[in-house]
Amino acid sequence: MSLSPIVEPLIGWFDQNKRLLPWRRDRAPYHVWISEIMLQQTRIEAVMGYYARFLDALPDVKHLSEVDDDTLMKLWEGLGYYSRARNLKKAAVMIMEEHGGVFPRTYDALRRLPGIGDYTAGAIASICFDEKVPAVDGNVLRVIARIQGNRENVLLPQTKKRVTEELTRVMPTRPGAFNEGLMELGELVCLPNGIPLCERCPIRDACTAYREGLTEELPVRIKTTKRRRVDLSVFIITAEDGRIAVEKRPEKGLLSGLYQLPNLEGFHDEAALAEALTAWRLSPTEITFEKDAKHVFTHIDWFMKAYRVQTAKKADRFLWVTEEELKSAYPLPTAFQKLI
């Protein structure tokens, strides 16, 4: 079915009901870009404080391109998916070097920047520069699936491709308002898990799922990726002066370039734990089980057993930092923060 009947009612509804979010105070592409990257895999409520703090420290592309990695990661600490922050800096450097510090104005140019995919490029190009391109994310796919009564798996690339093509054909003269309207509708009204607030929906008369009672069945989401489990024994190692042992993770791979608490893969008995600590040239005087914890990544689940360790000897392989330094200077992923 054509999507043209939803365009004008949706824009009118958005004009009257849009939330006054910090990144909507203007159409500065830097502001929209930072907010869109932060909002990937993260709820709006969680992003608000991070967004303000990030802009205070890095108010424009030039500052972002020059920030040192540890400061950048500390600003991002707790948001997760840290490759997003690394790509922000890479893109800022490219904007400075290849675009003279001026933000690219077209979808195609934006798409070439590190970390900017189809959705983010569409959002920036339409909201900031009025380019008639869609911005299709999970919220939009859910809304369109219900409007059309479509049972295609919304997690498949071909479904996203079809929806993108159909939205492209009906893009109005205010593409940014239309795209944001679809996003806003998906976040506030056309909610997931079978509980949309249809009585508030400005386009329910055009919605097949509403008309045929299919809102609990749509959209169809069938995951095909298998999750991997990793077991870790994690050490909170404290020296006699109160400093805590941390180490930097490898520059490639999961949580690359961040700091971590020392750990071993797998679960081990106390004798094996003591042997590992001694091999690290520590002198453990006490090993105490602290807690069990779980941390979920995109395709991996970490199951952790944390141990507090007192040591009479520091090992050179670790950085020894105060609790205050750990809070202020060393970006520690949430997976490890929850242990201490």
Compute the distance between CA of residue 308 and CA of residue 152 in angstroms, rounded to an integer: 50
pLDDT at 227: 86
pLDDT at 252: 85
Where does 99-241 have alpha helices with state H?
Answer: 107-111, 118-129, 138-148, 157-168, 175-188, 208-212
Domain 4-212 identical in fold to domain 228-337: no
Sequence-distant contacts of 186-194: CB under 8 A, at least 24 apart: 186/138, 186/139, 186/140, 186/142, 186/143, 187/44, 187/139, 188/17, 188/19, 190/139, 190/142, 190/143, 190/146, 192/142
pLDDT at 195: 87
Compute the distance between CA of residue 121 and CA of residue 109 in angstroms, rounded to an integer: 9
Annotated catalytic residue 36: yes
Average pLDDT for consecutive 10-residue bins of the chain (340 residues)? Answer: 93 96 95 96 91 97 97 93 94 98 97 96 98 96 97 96 97 97 96 90 96 94 86 96 95 89 95 94 93 92 96 94 92 92
pLDDT at 340: 85
Cβ–Cβ under 8 Å, residues 244 and 321: yes
Cβ–Cβ under 8 Å, residues 155 and 212: no
CATH number for 228-337: choose from 3.30.70.100, 3.90.79.10, 3.40.30.10, 2.170.190.11: 3.90.79.10
Closest CA to 107 of 95, 122, 88: 122
Kindly list the domain boundaries of the chain, sorted by start residue.
4-212, 228-337
Closest CA to 81 of 115, 55, 48, 117: 115
Marked catalytic residue, from 8, 36, 45, 166:
36
pLDDT at 261: 97
CATH number for 4-212: choose from 1.10.600.10, 3.40.190.10, 1.10.340.30, 1.20.1290.10: 1.10.340.30
DSSP annotation of 2 reads -
